[in-house]
């Protein structure tokens, strides 16, 4: 899905809702944006799984061994998966082959912006493996959905409503027309509050203090 369509938010919520069900398994969430290079995903994962330090092929082999050994399910969530695209796509191929290995206990979830990431980057995957990754499309938010998200978020603040309902609808309509990006819609509201805050602060400074203090 495109930026701000709720992929990270949705997955975080699902992980939270499934906390009890996942209690017996190992969940690893990695943000690939934070990795120095696509290949850094392997040491990062090895570290999370508590595997001994190794390098290159050796490390990939030890990960493979770990993920096909007896043990609880390993749920690996790779956010910003687009960052793992590399020459020849060897990193993505290696990762996406793991769940298909005999007696694999790995479940892999990837979050990416490019809808065709797996088709484009992993074209060979379907050819020699039983299952292609299942795709879940996150469409841009509609005006109604954005309005609900904004209302819900602003409703968390006690007291008088912060933004006029007409202003919220206007913001939701404009953002849905361009991108359907919830992050953008929230930013617009945040900015509006900041502008008002600045104006009010300016006025307070100019106002004479009571009783000439
Ligand atoms: N359904 C929702 N309800 C409440 N807040 C939401 C919802 N969807 C998104 N948001 C909020 O909008 C912002 C952007 O959402 P999120 O980070 O999930 O987007 P994303 O699809 O992961 O984007 P990117 O591709 O850039 O990583 C976050 O602050 C998130 O909390
Ligand atoms: Mg995200």
Domain regions of the chain by residue span = 7-131, 143-202
CA 160–ligand 2 middle distance (angstroms): 31
pLDDT tens-place values along the chain, 213 residues long? 999 999 999 999 999 999 999 999 999 999 999 999 999 999 999 999 999 888 888 999 999 999 999 999 999 999 999 999 988 888 998 999 999 999 999 999 999 998 777 777 777 766 555 567 888 999 999 999 999 999 999 988 888 888 999 999 999 999 999 999 999 999 999 999 999 999 888 887 666 667 765
| Local structure of residue 27 (DSSP, 8 states) | E
Ligand 1 in contact with 140 (CB < 6 A)? Answer: no
- Note whether 143 and 129 are within 8 A (CB): no
Q: 3-class DSSP state for residue 160?
A: coil
Burial of 6 (0-12, 13-18, 19+ CB in 10 A): buried
CA 66–ligand 2 middle distance (angstroms): 28
DSSP-H helix ranges across the chain? 7-17, 41-48, 56-68, 90-97, 117-121, 123-128, 143-155, 165-178, 182-206
pTM for the structure as a whole: 0.88
- Closest residue CA from atom 30 of ligand 1: 9
User: How confident is the model over 123-158, as pLDDT tens digits?
Assistant: 776 655 556 788 899 999 999 999 999 999 998 888
- Closest residue CA from atom 17 of ligand 1: 8
- Closest residue CA from atom 10 of ligand 1: 6
Rounded Cα gap, residues 42 and 55, in angstroms? 9
- Closest residue CA from atom 8 of ligand 1: 6
The domain 7-131 having CATH identifier 1.10.3720.10: the answer here is no
Test site for ligand 1: of 146, 182, 184, 188, most ligand atoms within 8 A of the Cβ: 182
pLDDT of residue 127: 54
- Note whether 136 and 109 are within 8 A (CB): no
Q: Which helix (H) or strand (E) holds 110?
A: strand 106-110
């Amino acid at each position: 899905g495109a930026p701000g369509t709720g992929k990270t938010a949705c997955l975080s919520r699902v992980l939270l809702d499934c906390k009890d069900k996942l209690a017996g398994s190992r969940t690893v969430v990695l943000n690939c944006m934070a990795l120095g290079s696509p290949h850094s995903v392997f040491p990062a994962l090895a570290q999370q799984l508590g595997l001994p330090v190794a390098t290159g092929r050796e490390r990939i082999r030890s990960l493979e061994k770990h993920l096909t050994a007896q043990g609880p399910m390993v749920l690996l969530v790779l956010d910003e998966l687009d960052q793992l695209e590399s020459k020849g796509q060897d990193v993505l191929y290696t990762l996406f082959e793991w769940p298909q290995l005999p007696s694999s206990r790995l479940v892999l979830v990837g979050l990416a912006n490019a809808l065709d990431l797996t088709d484009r980057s992993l074209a060979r995957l379907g050819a020699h493996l039983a299952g292609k990754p299942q795709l879940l499309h996150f469409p841009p938010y509609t005006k109604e959905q954005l309005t609900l998200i904004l209302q819900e978020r602003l409703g968390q603040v006690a007291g008088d409503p912060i933004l006029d309902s007409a202003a919220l609808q206007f913001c939701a309509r404009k953002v849905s027309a361009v991108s359907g990006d919830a992050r953008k819609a929230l930013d617009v509201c945040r900015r509006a509050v900041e502008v008002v805050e600045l104006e009010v602060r300016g006025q307070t400074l100019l106002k004479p203090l009571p009783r000439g203090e």
